[in-house]
Amino acid sequence: MSRPKILLTRRLPDAVQARAQRDYDATLNPGDDLMDAATIAARAAGMDGLLVTATEAMNADAIAALPDGVRIIATFSVGYEHIDLAAAKARGIAVTNTPEVLNDATADIAMLLLLAAARRATEGQAMVRQSTWSGWTATDMLGAQVTGQRLGILGMGGIGQAVARRARGFDMEIHYHNRTRLPAELEQGATYHETVRDLFAASRFLSLHCPLTPETRHVVNAESIEWLPPGAIVVNTARGPVVDDEALIAALKSGRLGAAGLDVFEGEPKVNAGYLDLDNAFLLPHMGSATVETRDAMGFRALDNLDAFFAGGTPRDRLA
């Protein structure tokens, strides 16, 4: 019996590719070249399934262009805004993602961003690397205290809850807003706010963990920044477009906000040039899930979903 044919649209970790080749007639992308919709459609000829990543825009046109034989799209990501689920469903194409397995790694990066932004790590590292540090003084490089402060979490899913667990180690007071309130055993004493505005008003630190939806696009904007306490610090490991870059940059320049820690950007890998000269912006290149263990786990989760689908079952993480 022939094995299902799948296309991997990006180069994935070695262990993931080895398993894909073991269990499937897998076509790899060893050069890791970015594929547009036309290229994906051409390379998908004869394929039964696709294993894509968040860099492939599987919109309605891209899905319409896929060969008839493609029956499933497994994405190597927890987010799925790059896939038009309605278009996939209309064509009878299943879609899966990889939730849960990247919670801890992303939460670790969120805490790194929070601490680095609060303690002026961008400035401090530049002083050391550029040999401009003149020595210790009692009044130099004073940052914001993290321990005991209020942390607002927008989006209390798996990653948000993982951040809350870490923040409790710093005795932070946890506040959150979510589409639905968590059960008490998951809240772990956190304070729930029914509106985004109420959460922002309570947040000395704000960490973003919401999915990208029409409602959350630019949820941090010129108006909502005014709801935050003066000097608040904003951290984003969710998706770049949940932040209005121009509004955030203006608030950081004016001192309305104290600092920001960002791992994701609208239009990435391009980054709004306004961030680059800001000492109070700590910037990372979308590396929230970038550990060997996590990226392997993401690939294995995607393959688990493909295994279940081609075995005639229901994939654990089916979205459409």
Give strand pairing partners of 220: 243
- Checking 288-291 for CB contacts under 8 A at 24+ apart, the result is 288/102, 288/105, 288/106, 288/109, 288/110, 288/237, 288/263, 288/264, 289/102, 289/105, 289/106, 290/105, 291/105
Active-site annotation holds for 268: yes
CA neighbours within 13 Å on the CB side: how many for 166?
A: 22
The two three-digit tokens of residue 99, written as one number: 């939730």
CB–CB of 162/104 below 8 Å? yes
Catalytic position from the list 19, 193, 204, 239: 239
Q: Which of 157, 158, 153 is nearest to 173 (CA)?
A: 153
Catalytic position from the list 81, 187, 226, 268: 268
- Checking 275-279 for CB contacts under 8 A at 24+ apart, the result is 275/245, 275/249, 278/122, 278/249, 278/252, 278/253, 279/120, 279/122, 279/123, 279/126
Centre a 10 Å sphere on the Cβ of residue 76 and count the other Cβ atoms it contains: 25
Active-site annotation holds for 286: yes
Q: Which of 137, 132, 229, 237 is nearest to 175 (CA)?
A: 229
Residues marked active site are found at 239, 268, 286
